[in-house]
Structures are given as C-alpha cells and as structure tokens.
Structure 1
Amino acid sequence: MATPKFSRPDISFHLELKKRISDYFKEVGYSQTGNSQLFIKATVLVVAFLAFYVHLVFFTPHWAFALLECVILGALTASIGFNVMHDGAHGSFSRYQWLNKAAGMSINFLGANVFMWKTKHNVVHHSYTNVEGVDDDMNARPFLRLCPAQKRYKIHRFQHYYFLLTYSLLYLYWVFFTDYKKYVTQRVGLVPIQKMKVMDHISFWGFKLIHAALFIVLPIYVVGFLPWLVGFTVYGLFAGLMLTVVFQLAHSLEETAFPLPDVQTNKLEDEWAIHQLKTTANFATNNKVISWVLGGLNFQVEHHLFPKISHVHYPAISKIIKEACCEYNIPYLEHAKMRLAFWSHVKHLKMLGRA
C-alpha cells in the first residue's frame, strides 16, 4: 500500500494560516521556539525526576510511600516526554539545534528511541493523522478498535470497560517491544524508516543498555528483585496510561474524522491542513495546570498545524487559527473540559465496539 496523497486546492487554507501566523510572530517579535518559561519548566521536571529516582532507589521509603513515588515518577516521565522530548524532537524547543537534539534525546534515557519516534510521530502520524493502515498510532489491534475501518472482534463489545488497562501497557510495550520491532523490520507500520547510520545503531543499543542498567540492574541490586518488579510495573503502567490518554483525547473521539483515500486515485478528500482540523481536537485549553503538565498537548490542533512552533505559543496562535476557521467555515474541534473529551472518547469506543 502506497501512502495516500492530499488534495491541492486552488485556494489553500494552509497557506492562509501560515501567513497569519507568520504575521503574528513578526508583529510581536517573538521567536517561534521555546523561551525561558519552557527552559525553567524543563529544568524543574528533570530535577524532580532525578530526585524521585535517587530517593526511590537509594533511600527507599516505606512501601506505601514508595508506590506513591513510583506513580509520581511515571507522571514525570510522561511530562518530560510532553514538554522536553516532544518539542525537542520537532525542533521547536530552542533556536539552537544542539539543544533541540539534547531535548529530543531525553526519550533515550527513558527507554525509548528518538530516531524511531521521529518516523512514527513526526513523519507518519503528523502526515496521515487517523488514516487507517498508515497512522500507526491508531493500531491497538486486536485489543481495541479505534476507528470504523478496523475489523471488529467480539471482545470489542467490552472495550469501553477495559481500555484503560490496555492503555497502561503502552510505555512498557513501547520500550521492550515496538522499538525493537521497528529496528528489525526497518518500518513503522507500512512506512520505511530513514536508513540508519552507524551512529544511529550505536545510539540505539547504547541507550537501551543504559536504560536497562539504570532502571533494571541497579534497582534490583539495591532494593531486590520483587520490590523492583512491583515498583517498576507501577511506574511503567502509570506513565503508559498518562501518555496514551492524552493522545486519544486528541484524535479518537466522536467528533473526529477517520478519512480514507479514494480507492482509485489513492487521494484523500481534503488538503493537509483541513485534514488535520477534521482529525484533531483540543481539550481543556483554559486550564493552565493541565496545559503546563501536558506541554500544551491539549492544544493538539495548533500542534498538528504548526509542529515546529513551541507549545508555549499555542494559547496565542489558537485565537488566530480559530478565527480563520470561523471565516472559512472549517470545523475547529475542542472540548472545554478534559472530562468532556474523556467521555466523548468512551462513547466513541462504545459505538465502535457495538457497531
């Protein structure tokens, strides 16, 4: 299956959006990348992560407090991914490329691999959002049916009851299976990854060994196998749950579309920007705590349209994008509260499980 093509209208809404956003940054005189606000947040998150890691491994508290700290460590892992790695991998963390590279490589210390991530996320997901058979982020088979084009199994009738359990497995599955699958097959789903250089191979295996040493070997040596197993499982499950729920609340809802290319032409109906607007939704954008923790990924519309702009600018440019959508009569999907987006996702799963 060849990757589909997007329509090319005579009057491009995407070009109009880019002009308006460019004019905004010229007017305010800001860089489109991160600023001191982001750098301070990144420092707080990384220092907090290191502090909880050291306390858990070398000064292990009573088991009840230890489990709570494992949950917090999982939340910090996800938040570093949202705030530091994500902007870095998109080249929007800083105006300096070496700093973007360093921020992006934070995912390597947390067990995953930034080289594989860039193909899966930056190239495939951002290009072909919600397109079944191409967007690998929609693939949770056979456990979940996330879009109408996927085959329905009897178990899916109950998926709106057990989906959180499946989501919680994402981080552990990602770190210990899917990265290796991509490495061996040299593909993300149907899409080939960029040819790996010698240093890419060394980085892949070197950081996998570092992660194993820091998160498996050392903790087992210090606290013992069973305490490590319980703690690491709680940590991994919570990180996976947080990572997956944020993604699903942006793309897998009652309101979002799941376009398929024309069978004859292999072309999608809309141009790329409009495709993104139909397949992506915001949630809780007025909640500053959620926006801070999630690295602005509750502003998914803005992120998908302008992935090279740092999330610290999303609240400002969201007003411009929303106004343009209103003028051109193009949908701008959002939920005022996170719980409303969550409920929409549950109803979406329920509908797909019984349809």
Structure 2
Amino acid sequence: MKELHSFGWYAAKLKPDLPKKAFNPVPERLWGGLAYLLVTVAALMTIGIVDVNPFFYIPLSLIIGACFAALGFLGHEILHGTVVRTPWLRDFLGAVAFWPLSTGPKLWRKWHNLTHHVHTQHEEHDPDAWPTLDRIMKIRLLRWVYRLPHPVRAFFSFCSLSFQFSVHSLNMFVVYLKEFNPKKRPAVFMEAILPWVTWIALLVWVGPVKWIFMFLIPLLIANLIVMAYISTNHRLNPTTEINDPLANSLTVTVPKWVDVLHFNFSYHTEHHLFPGVSSKYYPLVKQLIKERWPERYHEMRFDKALTALWLTPRPYYNKELVDPNNGNSFGTLGHGLDPDNIKSSISEKMYNTETLVSLMTEGKKQEHAKDQ
C-alpha cells in the first residue's frame, strides 16, 4: 500500500509550478452563469405563457434541467471563492446559482467546504462518504435493502440519483443547523426556505401540470446530472484516515464541450488539491500531477466509471466494497479494482459469514435497546 499524504502536502509541491494568476478569482465565469440564467428564464416563461399540448413542453424541461445542473456547478465554484472574493457578493451569487437546487450558501460552505473537503472519505467525519458495512447492519431498513440481489439494488440506486442531491441537502440542513451560531440560524433557515417559497408560488401561478414541466422534471434531471458526477467522485475509492486526494478521489474524463458546459466539474482530484483555484486551471493541475505521481493518480472515462458503480456494491469493509447479500467482495481504486475487468473475490473475502451474522445481530440488539 502506498504511503498516504495530505492534500496540503501535494499542494505545497505543486503550487510553485502554477502561475500566480491561477490563485486569483475569475469573475469572467459569471458570463456562463448569466447565459444559463437567461435560457432558464426564457424557457420557464415560454411554458408559463404558451398553452399547448404538454407533450411539447418536454424539450424545454430537458433544457431547464440541464441549466439547473450547470448553475449548480457554477454555484459550487462561486462558493469556493474562485469567482469573486467579496463575502456578501459570493454568497448572493452562490444563492442565485443554487436556487434551483434549493441549497443555501451558508449551509453549502459548512457542509461541503468545511466538512467534506477537510474530512474527505473519512468513514465517520465525511458527510458524503458512503457508509461502512458496520453502519449499514445497524439500520433495519438497510439490512432489508441489502438482502435484495445486487442488480435490483443497482437499478434502484441509479434511479435514486434523480433525487439524491435534494434529499441529501435537506438532511444536511437538519444535521448542521444546530451547529451554526444561534444568531446566524435564522439566515441559514431563510436561505433554505426562500427557494421553496419561489417554487410553491410558481405552482400556484401556473397550476400542477405546467409546474411539473417547469420545475419537477427539471429538478429530477438536474439531480441526475449532478449526482452522476458526484457518485463517481469518491464511491469507487477507498475510505482513508488521511485526506489524500490521489487515493480517495477520482477524475472522470468527458468530451471537451461537456467540460465547457459544466465548468470543468469533471476534474475532481484537482479540485480537492486546490479548491481555491478556479477550475479554469485544472487541466494544468492535472498535467502537473501526472508528471509527478502518475502511479497514484486515478482517472477514468465517465461512462466507464458509471458502469463500475453499477457492477460493484457500495458498503465498505476495510478497503473493499462488499455485498452483504452473497458475501462477494470487490477492490477499490488502488486496492485491486480493475475497471476493465471487474470481478468479485469470492475466494478471498474480506469478511466471512460469521462476521456478517455478528454485525447483523449487534445491529438488532442496538435497535431493540432503543425501542425499550
């Protein structure tokens, strides 16, 4: 196993090779956001005003959903301070960009910037890390879910990408609201509730049929696009005690025009090394990483990464991905996972039946104790 290094260790070695301008904000990125915003408003107004067969609204719904997702990618960049640095303007623009996904800027910076980025792929402290086998076996519903055959679970897991971001964002609001200073909680609450007030007002204005095409379908599409990226960011990588982006993050490759539309969101390892650098410079960061540590760096074609997610189970056990249903184990990136030849290690399981029974029994005991 390669020695792990912190993201700061890598960044310190690469920073001298980056141009000084790479560390300056790039407000020109806002022109792309303005274009998406104008297209979104135009499409929304067209559906709202023009009365035709709802079937003809579908293309506009697809366009709105794609714009919602792209605005989310820009909002992510804005709230890292790589577009503008003035705090009030950063939060205002971030709120506008995240408005379709109904995620407030203060919550996002707490959940994503200050927690996920600091504790990436730590099995206890990263709010976005997929749970371990031990945690799954302690939850009754998940024990039942993981009795289903893997293809069935994979199908429903991919379907759930269409609402996972919205559900997880709501959960993060519940988890982190109490951690904010009491004086700031009203602002955090308002940032979370105002977008939904907008969408409910839209429902009242246009009625349920048009609302489905103006917001619900686009929201599902945006979730699907955003989560297709997010699900590949780390879920094929192992959990790590040290936040080593070259071990716990994956960069996916997409056509250049997709990178342009999505603000280089595919460069995820690079982002975890330099979250304060505009994604405009991530191709250069990638080049520098591959020159120094090519054996550590993980990149994969986007469609291949999604296929690997489909073919592998999600619970972690040590550095493996395991299937509680049949006991099969799979490697993770850097620990035996070959995306071109994904195979389970039936003869070399990282845990046995006795371990699984023990975990399930312990989980049932804890639930029984809570019920008393």
TM-score (norm 1): 0.76
Q: Which residue of 2 aligns with 1:190?
A: none
**Corresponding position of 2:26:** 34
Q: Is the 8 A contact 1:21 1:320 kept in 2?
A: no
Deviation at 1:81, TM superposition (A): 0.8
CA distance in 2, matches of 1:216, 1:238: 19
Coordinate RMSD, CA, aligned: 2.9
CA distance, structure 1, for counterparts of residue 79 and residue 181 of structure 2: 18
Whole-Å separation in 2 of the counterparts to 1:290 and 1:237: 19
1:128 pairs, out of 86, 110, 119, with: 119
User: How far 1:334 moved relative to its partner?
Assistant: 0.3
The match for 2:161 is 167
Query: How far apart are residue 122 of structure 1 and its match?
Result: 0.9
Contact 1:129 1:279 in 2 (8 A): yes
User: Gapped runs of 5+ residues in structure 2?
Assistant: 137-142, 315-320, 329-372
Match in the other structure for 1:155: 148
Corresponding residue number in structure 2 for 1:308 = 276
Residues 72 and 98, structure 2, Cα contact 8 Å, conserved in 1:
no
1:61 Cα offset (Å): 4.5
Sort the Cα spacing of 1:160 and 1:209 in 2 relative to 1 into closer, same or farther, 3 A.
Answer: closer
Structure label with greater radius of gyration:
2
Give TM-score, length-normalised by structure 2: 0.73
- Matched to 2:289, the amino acid is I
Deviation at 1:196, TM superposition (A): 4.7
Structure 1 counterpart SS, 2:251: strand
Kindly tell me: are residues 322 and 61 of structure 1, through their superposed partners in 2, closer, same or farther at Cα, counting changes over 3 Å? farther
Q: Is the 8 A contact 2:68 2:219 kept in 1?
A: no
Shift of 1:319: 0.6
Identity of aligned residues (%): 21
Aligned to 1:332: 297
**1:259-278 correspondence runs (5 A):** 259=240, 268=241, 270=242, 272=243, 275-278=244-247
Aligned-partner Cα distance in 1 for 2:157–2:192 = 28
Alignment partners' CA distance in 2, 1:195 and 1:95:
23
User: Which residue of 2 is the match for residue 257 of structure 1?
Assistant: 238
CA distance in 1, matches of 2:149, 2:230: 20
Task: Quote the Cα distance in structure 2 between the aligned partners of 1:15 and 1:317.
Answer: 15
Following TM superposition, by how much is the alpha carbon of 1:132 offset from its aligned partner in structure 2, in angstroms?
2.1
AA matched with 1:154 = R
Aligned to 1:214: 198
1: CA distance, partners of 2:149 / 2:163: 17
CA contact (8 A) 1:73 1:235 kept: yes
Q: How many residues align?
A: 307
Aligned to 1:182: 175
Contact 1:21–1:317 (CA under 8 A) maintained in structure 2: no
Per-residue Cα deviation, 1:198-255 (whole angstroms, up to 9, x for no partner): 4x514532x445423432223332x3234424653322211111111110111112xx
Corresponding position: 1:280 with 2:246: no
Distance 1:288 1:8 in 2: 31
Deviation, structure 1 residue 97: 4.2
Moved more, 237-246 or 152-161: 152-161
Aligned-partner Cα distance in 2 for 1:342–1:159: 15
Is contact 1:86–1:104 with CA below 8 Å preserved after alignment?
yes
Provide the secondary structure at the position in 1 that maps to 2:312.
helix
Q: Is residue 57 from structure 1 mapped to residue 45 from structure 2 by the alignment?
A: no
Within 1, Cα distance between the matches of 2:51 and 2:164?
Answer: 26
Change (3 A) 1:147 1:319: farther
Q: Residues 147 and 352 of structure 1 are in contact (CA less than 8 Å); yes or no, is this contact kept in structure 2?
A: no
Counterpart Cα distance in 1 of 2:11 and 2:196: 45
Distance in 1 between the 2:161 and 2:235 partners? 13
Letter in 2 for 1:215: W
Work out the CA distance in 1 between the residues paired with 2:239 and 2:134.
Answer: 8
Residue identity matched to 1:75? A
**Distance (whole Å) between structure 2 residues aligned to residue 211 and residue 161 of structure 1:** 31
Return closer, same or farther for 1:17/1:232 CA change in 2, 3 Å cut-off.
closer
CA deviation map 1:16-52 (0-9, x unaligned): 53243244214xx55442253x232122122222222
Comparing both chains, which one has the higher relative contact order based on Cα–Cα distances under 8 Å and sequence gaps of 6 or more?
1
Matches of 1:130 and 1:30, distance apart in 2: 27
Does the aligned pair in 2 maintain the 1:33–1:94 contact within 8 Å? Answer: yes
Instruction: Report what 1:72 is aligned to.
Output: 63
Whole-angstrom CA distance in 2 between matches of 1:21 and 1:154: 48
Match of 1:242 in 2: 225
The one-character-per-residue Cα deviations of 1:68-107 (angstroms, maximum 9, x if unpaired) are 2222212211110102x11111111135444423332225
